[in-house]
Structure 1
Amino acid sequence: MKKVFVVGVVGIPACYGGFETLVENLVEKSASDVTYTVFCSEHDYDVQLSEHKGAKLLYLPFKANGMQSILYDTYALIKSLFYRPDVVLILGVSGCVFLPIFKLFSRSKVIVNIDGLEWRRAKWGRFARAFLKLSEKLAVAFSDTVISDNQAIYDHVLSCYKRHSEVIAYGGDHAMVRAVSGFHDSYALALCRIEPENNVELILKAFADLDIPLKFIGNWHNSEFGRRLKIEYSNVANIELIEPVYDPEELFAYRDQCRFYVHGHSAGGTNPSLVEMMFFAKPIFAFNCNFNRYSTDGKAMYFDSPDSLKTIILSWEKTGDAAAEEIGRAMNDIAVQRYTWAKVTQAYQKLYQ
């Protein structure tokens, strides 16, 4: 039996984001010789289960995000010393400043998924960026195995730290709660956390000058940035700003019925929302960065400004349904080849051995 302890997530059942969905699927598809223990934040669970899908759950008295994530991850690593698991799987680098000390007292194999170069995100101040960059450096230096979720992250680790890492992305097939209809409505769809590096304002500016309907799903009320955009664009006739959608069936319907998908992320490696959408075989317009180009194998359509987004949409519209089907088919082929949870789980389990 391989005992794997998971550090760095809010917890399971999944209720937050990409890492939580990853752990949910690792646990659900676990091999018979692998057991999981997952650290969870007691702040996010009114009902605290002792186990979930065969994984043992241990609750910690800190929040898993923000500044408390450092304490949260560090405390999880300290508790792991006493349990002596075979593998400690760390998702994100917040607590990796403790890794040099942890390695002095533990024989556990340490695997770190360094996430998407978190220190580059615009939301962090100068001190936070410096801390996260230091944490990343220590994560790479003191882990036994580094996981990059995108080839661009691999290139960064190799260039900056002269170390090879394992490229394992995320699965997206959990989004397919039923068969796609094969039909579409007239609207474009965008879906993300409302943060500057997701180029939300760029997308809204472009569609404000188009006649094409846009449904944009996001957490508009969680920041001053989001609230300002909500006020500014709520009265634009062809733009509908929708609050976060968590119900899988409802989210499936939005994706299934959209005409095409606009993906503005410019940071974060392989974005779960992108690989989930690729399974729907719809044309994808993605922000032009190496993360997105690697994820879509260079076969999507790419923009870097409101004008370029408008130009490629209008140009694409003239090419007809055949071009749309070709791009959508390419997205689906890549997703099936790379982004199923069965393949992701198998890759992680191989690293435990």
Structure 2
Amino acid sequence: MPSVAIIGTRGYPSYYGGFETAVRKLAPYLVEQGWDVTVYSRPAGTRADDPGRDPRVRVIETRGLEKKSLSTLTYGLTAALHAAKEKPDVALVMNVANGFWLPILKRAGIPTLVNVDGIEWDRAKWGRFAKWVFHQGGKWTAKYGTRMVYDSHEIARRWKDEFGLDGEYIPYGGDPVDQDLPVEPGLTHRGYALVVARFVPENSIPEFLEAAPHIAEHTEVVIVGSSGYGGELDDHARALAATNPRIHWLGHVSDDRRLFSLWQHCAVYFHGHTVGGTNPALVQAMALGAPVVARDTPYNREVTGATGAFTDGAIGDIVATVSRLAASRDVEDASSALKQRARESFSWEAVNARYLESLRYVSSERGVDLADA
């Protein structure tokens, strides 16, 4: 039985972000394809009694430091050291921050498929030192990784230009829902503008919070997300919800069914992400038929194509674009077009199959024939 170790996420099953969503979909799929799958996890990242957990997926918890700037590095190190002893046929490594530990896996004879994520050193949430660390991690990834995975063509272009590396294009998928989910209590179908994002500057959260009271003059506003560490943006969202009954801050929502309902019934989903590649939240929103207003970036245009509406990110333009789509008679047409695009271009079935093919290819670096797996 071929074996794969998955390193660099919060674990299985976890609902934290895009990497974790991908692992929740991929790990059971690989098991079904005859693979022995191990996912390295953080103690606080998963629940053993999670009903969505596939017991055939092996979960190994390692130690690390629960610090914003050190958690990925420290948990990645302990996972790589453990995997080096176990010697799986191949390792799927998430995040270039773990590029520093790829020599450990290479020395153990373990080929690696590395999902580089976005261009982390472009993210405004990181300080100068953290950006330098991520960029160095990218250099180590380029030098010691066996094969790269890029979740968008634009990310692939950036890596080709800077590091001279080709790789595999594998985006994220979305889960379609073929039934009408219950509307969130207190809201109405197509009666609210929605934002779902981690509270960091590059997700346009500061601008959206400033725009929210103006949008709320015409349609209700629902804000989903937090920084995870408290701070100014959380305080701002809390104050808006406390003083304006048409603005609702729900914090972090880990219940997929509830989040899917919010996307399915919104009048507009504002997607303010400005860095990164194919964003999992955007793909999922499209799969559920959420009419989209996105920040005008190459990444977001690549995902939505001609089916989305775009804003330059200025507060006034966010207000105008979101309000215009929410009031438009074409909102259902936009919903149908986005849902169709997600179905054709971003299905989990196709995503998982691409990962399987890539893992088979990379494993050949170790001389292991996995053609029948």
Counterparts of residues 231-250 of structure 1 (less than 5 Å):
231-234=238-241, 235-250=243-258
Equivalent residue number for residue 13 of structure 2: 13
Q: Does 1:307 align with 2:312?
A: no
Counterparts of residues 243-322 of structure 1 (less than 5 Å):
243-304=251-312, 305-316=314-325, 320-321=328-329
- Percent same amino acid among aligned pairs? 26
Equivalent residue number for residue 71 of structure 1: 74
The range that moved more, 309-318 or 159-168, is 309-318
Is the partner of 1:261 in helix, strand or coil?
A: strand
Q: Does 1:149 align with 2:151?
A: yes
Shift of 1:63: 4.3
Contact 1:148 1:154 in 2 (8 A): yes
Shift of 1:236: 3.3
- Aligned residue identity for 2:210: K
Query: Structure 1 residues 181 and 250 mapped into 2: Cα distance closer, same or farther (>3 Å)?
Result: closer
- Aligned residue identity for 1:184: H
Equivalent residue number for residue 367 of structure 2: none
Contact 1:41 1:63 in 2 (8 A): no
* Alpha-carbon distance between aligned partners in 2 of 1:348 and 1:288, rounded to the nearest angstrom: 29
* Alpha-carbon distance between aligned partners in 2 of 1:273 and 1:45, rounded to the nearest angstrom: 20
Shift of 1:264: 0.9
How many residues are treated as equivalent by the alignment? 348
* Alpha-carbon distance between aligned partners in 2 of 1:347 and 1:42, rounded to the nearest angstrom: 30
* Alpha-carbon distance between aligned partners in 2 of 1:39 and 1:345, rounded to the nearest angstrom: 19
Equivalent residue number for residue 92 of structure 1: 95
Shift of 1:72: 1.4
* Alpha-carbon distance between aligned partners in 2 of 1:48 and 1:129, rounded to the nearest angstrom: 37
Contact 2:171 2:346 in 1 (8 A): yes
* Alpha-carbon distance between aligned partners in 1 of 2:238 and 2:4, rounded to the nearest angstrom: 46
- Aligned residue identity for 1:310: V
Q: Deviations over 1:138-159 (max 9, x none)?
A: 1122211100111221111111
Contact 1:187 1:260 in 2 (8 A): yes
Q: Deviations over 1:257-296 (max 9, x none)?
A: 2112111111222211111100122320001111111111
Contact 1:42 1:48 in 2 (8 A): no
Contact 2:269 2:291 in 1 (8 A): yes
Q: Deviations over 1:105-155 (max 9, x none)?
A: 232221000111122222211111101111012112221110011122111
Equivalent residue number for residue 366 of structure 2: none
Query: Structure 1 residues 20 and 208 mapped into 2: Cα distance closer, same or farther (>3 Å)?
Result: same
* Alpha-carbon distance between aligned partners in 2 of 1:272 and 1:107, rounded to the nearest angstrom: 32
Equivalent residue number for residue 119 of structure 1: 121
Contact 1:3 1:86 in 2 (8 A): yes
Contact 1:28 1:53 in 2 (8 A): no
Contact 2:13 2:46 in 1 (8 A): no
- Aligned residue identity for 1:36: V
The range that moved more, 60-69 or 27-36, is 60-69
Equivalent residue number for residue 194 of structure 1: 199
Contact 2:105 2:111 in 1 (8 A): no
Contact 1:279 1:335 in 2 (8 A): yes
The range that moved more, 212-221 or 157-166, is 212-221
Equivalent residue number for residue 331 of structure 1: 338
- Aligned residue identity for 1:295: V
Query: Structure 1 residues 24 and 142 mapped into 2: Cα distance closer, same or farther (>3 Å)?
Result: same
Contact 1:5 1:88 in 2 (8 A): yes
Root mean square deviation, CA, Å: 2.4
TM-score between both structures, scaled by the size of structure 1: 0.90
TM-score between both structures, scaled by the size of structure 2: 0.86
Contact 1:9 1:40 in 2 (8 A): yes
- Aligned residue identity for 1:41: R
The range that moved more, 343-352 or 34-43, is 34-43
Query: Structure 1 residues 166 and 46 mapped into 2: Cα distance closer, same or farther (>3 Å)?
Result: closer
Query: Structure 1 residues 237 and 293 mapped into 2: Cα distance closer, same or farther (>3 Å)?
Result: same
Q: Deviations over 1:181-238 (max 9, x none)?
A: 8982311111111111111121222232232211111126733232331255232353
Query: Structure 1 residues 251 and 112 mapped into 2: Cα distance closer, same or farther (>3 Å)?
Result: same
Equivalent residue number for residue 235 of structure 2: 228
Equivalent residue number for residue 371 of structure 2: none
Contact 1:110 1:144 in 2 (8 A): yes
Which structure 1 residue ranges, 4+ long, deviate > 6 Å from structure 2? none
Equivalent residue number for residue 38 of structure 1: 39
* Alpha-carbon distance between aligned partners in 1 of 2:251 and 2:169, rounded to the nearest angstrom: 33
Query: Structure 1 residues 317 and 108 mapped into 2: Cα distance closer, same or farther (>3 Å)?
Result: closer
Unaligned runs of 5+ in 1: none
- Aligned residue identity for 2:197: C
Contact 2:294 2:308 in 1 (8 A): yes
Is the partner of 1:95 in helix, strand or coil?
A: helix
* Alpha-carbon distance between aligned partners in 2 of 1:308 and 1:84, rounded to the nearest angstrom: 53
